[in-house]
Amino acid sequence: MREAPPKPPRNGEGDQPQAGGGVLEAEDSAFKTAKRERRSGNLPEVLLWRELRKRPGGHKFRRHHPLSRLTLDFACLASRVAIEIDGIAHDMGDRPERDMRRDAYLHSRGFAVLRLPAKEVLRDLNAATEAVIAACDARKPLHPRTISGGPPPRTGEVFRNEP
């Protein structure tokens, strides 16, 4: 019997699957969940997405971003901030413990987690948007742009002001 050919890497992962840890690295089930969630009509998420897609504060956001086995409600990858909208179900049963484990995992991947109650998003959308912007502003980008806008100088390269 023949083996199935290996799947090609997804965009952004390159051809080195052994390297791992990429921001776009996720299981197929997470991609399917993310696709399904994008179609859902969760009102607090829809309202917040309408604001975040305008790139407030100059930050770019992704909606239902798959990461490993998880799907983040929103993510600002440049600042490594995960934004989760929590409904009332997050207060019941074993959800608080699951959320704590999920947050610990995201912290281990370099993400800060901002949890916003769905009630607060519905009550004051502007305050929720400002909280997201503040969380992203508080974390410096991993790869800041140079002042000139070009690439940084090569190692050992020195610029001299010669006449």
In this predicted model, what pLDDT tens digit does every residue of 95-142 receive, in sequence order? 788 889 989 999 998 899 999 999 999 999 999 999 999 999 998 665
Smallest Cα–Cα separation from 110: which of 68, 73, 152? 68
SS3 state of residue 162:
coil
Query: What pLDDT digit, counting tens, does each position of 69-89 carry?
Result: 888 889 998 889 999 998 776
pLDDT of residue 11: 52
Higher pLDDT, residue 153 or 111: 111
Residues contacting residue 136 through CB under 8 Å, at least 6 positions apart: 57, 59, 76, 78, 79, 81
- Residue scoring higher pLDDT (38 or 63): 63
Give tens-digit pLDDT for 22-62: 555 766 666 666 666 666 768 888 899 899 999 998 999 98
- For residue 15, tell me if it sits in a domain: no
Q: What is the pTM of this model?
A: 0.66
Position 1 scores a pLDDT of 56
Q: Is residue 108 part of a domain?
A: yes
Question: Quick check: 73 and 39 in contact, CB under 8 A?
Answer: no
- Domain of 49 in residue numbering reads as 28-136
Residue 17, in any domain of the structure: no
- Which CATH number covers residue 55? 3.40.960.10
Tokens of 19: 């390297």
Q: Does residue 22 sit within a domain? A: no
The beta-strand segments (E) located in the chain are 62-67, 70-76, 81-86, 112-117
Residue 2 lies in a domain: no
Contacts of the segment 43-47: beta carbons below 8 A, 24+ positions apart: 43/122, 44/85, 44/87, 44/118, 44/121, 44/122, 45/73, 45/74, 45/85, 47/121, 47/122, 47/125
Overall domain count for the chain: 1
